[in-house]
Amino acid sequence: MSLMRQLLTLHRVNTQVTGLRQRLDSAQRFLDAQQRTLNELLQQGEELRRQMRQLEATTANLETEGKSHAERIEKLRTDLNSSKNDRQYQAILADMKSLQAKRDELDATAIGHMDRVEALRTQLATLQGSIDERTTLRDRAKSELDQRVADVSTRLSELETEREIAARAVPADARKTFERVAKETEGEAMAPVIEVSRRHREYACGACNLEIPKESFSKLSGTGESLVQCKACARILYIDEDAQVAVGE
C-alpha cells in the first residue's frame, strides 16, 4: 500500500473519531456552561441570604436596644411623677426626651432594615425561579451527554482501535506530520485536490483554494509516495479517484 493510501486510511478513520469526539465535547461544553451559570446563580442566592441574615440580626439587636430604651423611659416616667421639685422634673423630662429620640431613631433604622429584608426576600424568590430553570437545563444537558456517551462509546472505542492500527502502518515521519496538522485543523489533516482548469492543468487545495504549483501536482500524481502539503493551510494534499481519472484523460 502506498504512503498516500496509508494516510488516507488513517485520515478517514481519524475523521470519524474526531466527529464522534466533537459530539461528546459539544455536549460536555454545553453541560459545563449550564453548570457555571447555575453556580453563579447559587452564589448570588447565598449572598442574598447572607445579607438577609445580617440585616435580621442587626434588626434584632436594634429592637432589643429599643426595648431597653422603652423600659428606661417608663422608669423615668415613674420618677417624673414622683419628682420633688421643678429642677428635678426638668432633668428627668430631658432624659426622657433624649431616650425617646434615640428610640425613634432605632425604630426608624429597624423599619428600614425590615423593608430591605423584604426586598431581598422578593429578589431571592425571583432568583430562585431562575435557579430552578437553570437546574432543569443543567439536568437536561447532563442527560443528553449521558445519552451521547451511551450512543457512541462502543463505536468510538472501535474506531480508536482502527485508528491505532492505521497509524502504525504510516511511516513515523509522515505520521508525525499528519498528527501535527490534524491537531491544528480539528482533525481535517488532509484535503483533496480540486480541478480549476483541465485545459491549463490548474489545480487547487480543496480546503483553502490555494493554487497548487505544477511541480507539487506532479508529485501527487506520481507513485503516491510523496507527501505534499498546501502552502497556505498546511493540509496534506491528495488526489481522489475521480480526480485521478480526470488527470489521466
With the C-alpha atoms ordered 35, 37, 39, 42, is the resulting torsion angle positive or negative? Answer: negative
User: At which of 136, 169, 202 does a domain end?
Assistant: 169
Amino acid 135: pLDDT: 97
**Domain match, 135 and 225 both:** no
By residue range, what is the domain housing residue 192?
176-248
Q: What is the CATH number of the domain that holds 20?
A: 1.10.287.1490
Instruction: Report helix, strand or coil for 204.
Output: strand
In tens, the pLDDT along 14-70 reads 999 999 999 999 999 999 999 999 999 999 999 999 999 999 999 999 999 999 999
**Domain match, 42 and 126 both:** yes
Q: How far apart are CA 146 and CA 142, in angstroms?
A: 6
Torsion of CA 79, 83, 88, 94, to 10 degrees: 40
**Domain match, 67 and 162 both:** yes
C-alpha cell at 221: 500524481
User: At which of 169, 201, 229 does a domain end?
Assistant: 169
**Domain match, 85 and 154 both:** yes
In tens, the pLDDT along 108-165 reads 999 999 999 999 999 999 999 999 999 999 999 999 999 999 999 999 999 999 999 9
Q: How far apart are CA 234 and CA 191, in angstroms?
A: 10
Amino acid 249: pLDDT: 45
User: At which of 151, 169, 187 does a domain end?
Assistant: 169
Q: Please state whether beta strands 190-197 and 236-238 pair in parallel, antiparallel, or not at all (unpaired).
A: parallel
How many C-beta atoms surround the C-beta of residue 224 within 10 A?
Answer: 18
**Are residues 207 and 159 in contact, defined by beta-carbon separation less than 8 angstroms?**
no
